Structure 1
Amino acid sequence: MALEKPYLDIPGTVVFDAEQSRKGYWLNQFCMSLMKSENRERFKADERAYLDEWDMSEEQKQAVMARDLNWCIRTGGNIYFLAKIGATDGKSFQQMAGSMTGMSEDAYRAMMVAGGRSVEGNRFMHESAGTPGQPAGNATGQGGI
């Protein structure tokens, strides 16, 4: 019996549930490996070779190499694990979050200091362009985070 997932109707949001956890298991394990300096060095020396050591999908590997965190999340990545990639690249969490919204770090910071995004128009996809249960977003399938 499939569980009802009303949260699929939230625009630009991927909820890290049990299904996402299963899908992203090896991606997230790869990220955790970056906590060790020797693994970070191996990854930086030859990203593809290091990624090929993990039982990740080709799509997950491509998302990591593109440093597209929204894509990583859609393929099962959890932002708290994905932060290890940003740290490996010398990025702050704020820089990473800004990149996920398409904003500069300064614009993202200013938005958050001002209270974040308005909920108006961002509550449910069925109230705007999307259809219930179908991700809204731009041509690449990315909604706003």
Structure 2
Amino acid sequence: MTNTLHDYTKEFEDIPGTRVFTTKRARQGYWLNQFCMSLMKPENRKKWLADEQSYIADWKMTAAQKEALLARDYNRLLDLGGNIYYLAKVFSTDGLSFVQAVSTMTGMNVDDYKAMMSAGGRSPDGVRSIKDGK
């Protein structure tokens, strides 16, 4: 049983394959998510696509966030405070659909991912706790 808000939110880290967007993650990813929102403007998308390194140079993101962004490592970006709805601005700018981008996060190809989701998503059976391994 949890006694504090900290204990309660710490339990979110025990959900395999899921990153709950908490206030801690929101603070951690503030500049990353602001960068993503900048891609809503056509002129910023054009600058980003022309020279990614140059475009992110002055953003107050961490080196790890910039590295993950350039690598399009969406799972790592989520770990570093990215919000999937903000990150959608990045993969949309790259010409990817939500399904295409998210399938890369699962290690599945697009057709297998779509089939899994059409069949109701991931099975609730299996590992439900990282720390307990069950």
TM-score for both structures, normalised by structure 1: 0.85
- Percentage of matched positions with identical amino acids: 52
Higher relative helix content: 2
Equivalent of 1:37, from 42, 62, 80?
42
> Does the 8 A contact of 1:111 with 1:117 survive in 2?
yes
Match of 2:20 in 1: 15
Per the alignment, in what secondary structure is the counterpart of residue 13 of structure 1?
Answer: coil
1:127 corresponds to which of 108, 129, 132: 132
SS where residue 6 of structure 2 aligns? coil
Long gaps (5+) in structure 2: none
Partner AA of 2:57 in structure 1 = D
Q: Which has the higher contact order (CA 8 A, sep 6+)?
A: 1
Match of 1:71 among 72, 76, 82: 76
Structure 1 runs of 4+ off > 4 angstroms?
none
Uncovered stretches (5+) of structure 1, i.e. residues with no partner: 130-145
Q: Does 1:3 align with 2:6?
A: yes
Instruction: Identify the residue that residue 56 of structure 2 maps to in structure 1.
Output: 51
Aligned-pair CA distance for 1:127: 3.4
Q: What secondary structure, in the 3-state scheme, does the structure 1 residue paired with 2:111 have?
A: helix
